[in-house]
Amino acid sequence: MFDNALFIGFPYAAVVIAIVVSIYRFWFDPYSYSSQSSQFLENRVLFFGSVPWHYGVIIILLGHITALLFPRLWGLFTANQTRLYVLEIIGLSLALMATVGLVLLFYRRMANARAQSVTSELDWVLLIVLLLQVGLGFWVAFYYRWGSDWYLHTAVPWLISLLKFQPNIASVTALPFWVKFHFINGFTIILLLPFTRLVHLLVYPISYLWREHQVVIWNKSRHY
């Protein structure tokens, strides 16, 4: 029962709330959709924190998603021991990079008075949850070994079953506590997403790659 609530109820609730609130906020409070950058107030530590954090966590997140979307290919890829080694080493270094970056960002928010003045309570909650998540991820991959492989046979079937609306938690209930914590904390981040500055990842301006350089807006259509 408890497992069902944790691995079925909570993920669904988190995702539904994330989608509904994100859309609501986008339409009814677009002004609040901002990354709330504080680079203007503090520049030095931010460089050593923000850059490794963002690049580290984005690549790792893409790895998670790739395995989820293409489990067969992922399985074939990790079947070779050399490739598995390389993948694990890359993953671990990226996780380390992200963790160190985030620790620096955490320190910056605590130590720099200017950065402090633009840090809300929710920002702290988010920072702690994120730090916990990358820390746990790093620890789990390091301590239990071959995360990229067994992720495929534990979490991925569970997540796919959730996506197919045929929840099956058999592959995750028996996992060690820290691994489960990583899963649940992950959905906590999804839950927090629409309520915090994390919404900025939903509006990553990819359209900059193709939009016209100049933007001109006419009050009414010009040719009439």
Partner 1 sequence: MDIRSHVSMVFHLDKCIGCHTCSIACKNIWTDRKGTEYMWWNNVETKPGTGYPTLWEDQEKYKGGWEKKNGDLKLKLHSRLKGLGNIFYNPFLPTLDDYYEPWTYDYENLFNAPEGDDQPTARAISMVTGKPMDNIEAGPNWDDDLGGSPIYARNDVNLDGLTDDEREQLNELERVVFFYLPRICNHCLNPGCVAACPAGAIYKRGEDGIVLIAQDKCRAWRMCISGCPYKKTYYNWASGKSEKCILCYPRLESGQPPACFHSCVGRIRYLGVLLYDADQIEKCASVPDEELVAAQRNMIQDPFDPEVIKSAKANGISDATIASAQNSPVYKFVKKWGLALPLHPDFRTLPMLYYVPPMLPVLAKTKDGNYDVSDAESENLPALLSSLERARMPIKYMASMFSAGNVKVVEDVYRKLIAVRIFKRAQTVKDYQQAEVDAALEAGNTTADEVESIFRLTALPTYEERFVVPPLAREVAVEAWEKPLDRKREAGFGVRNKIAKRKF
* Sole binder of partner 1 in the list 12, 68, 142, 200 (CB under 8 A): 200
Give the residue from 64, 71, 79, 50 showing the smallest Cα distance to 189: 64
What 119-123 contacts at long range (C-beta under 8 Å, 24+ apart), as own/partner pairs, is 122/192, 122/195, 122/196, 123/196, 123/197
Query: 98: number of CA atoms within 13 Å, CB side?
Result: 25
* Sole binder of partner 1 in the list 18, 22, 38, 196 (CB under 8 A): 38
Phi/psi of residue 35, each to 5°?
Answer: -75, -10
Q: Which stretch binds partner 1 (CB under 8 A): 7-15, 46-54, 124-132, 168-176?
A: 46-54
Which tokens sit at 74? 């992922």
Specify the residue, 1 or 216, whose C-beta has the smaller distance to partner 1.
216
Interaction with partner 1 in 79-118: which residues (CB under 8 A)?
A: 113-114, 116-118
Considering the rule CB under 8 A, would residue 207 count as an interface residue with partner 1? yes
Query: 169: number of CA atoms within 13 Å, CB side?
Result: 17
* Sole binder of partner 1 in the list 55, 106, 139, 142 (CB under 8 A): 55
Number of residues that bind partner 1 (CB under 8 A): 46
Specify the residue, 43 or 166, whose C-beta has the smaller distance to partner 1.
43
CA separation for the pair 154, 171 (Å, rounded): 5
Other CB atoms within 10 A of residue 210 CB: 6
Which bin fits 50, alpha (ψ -120 to 50), beta or left (φ > 0)? alpha
Considering the rule CB under 8 A, would residue 121 count as an interface residue with partner 1? no
* Sole binder of partner 1 in the list 10, 12, 33, 195 (CB under 8 A): 33
Considering the rule CB under 8 A, would residue 50 count as an interface residue with partner 1? yes
CA separation for the pair 141, 50 (Å, rounded): 23
* Sole binder of partner 1 in the list 47, 85, 124, 178 (CB under 8 A): 47
Specify the residue, 38 or 78, whose C-beta has the smaller distance to partner 1.
38
* Sole binder of partner 1 in the list 1, 81, 177, 217 (CB under 8 A): 217
Residues that bind partner 1 (CB under 8 A): 30-31, 33-43, 46-47, 50-51, 53-55, 113-114, 116-118, 197, 200, 203-209, 211, 213-220, 222-224
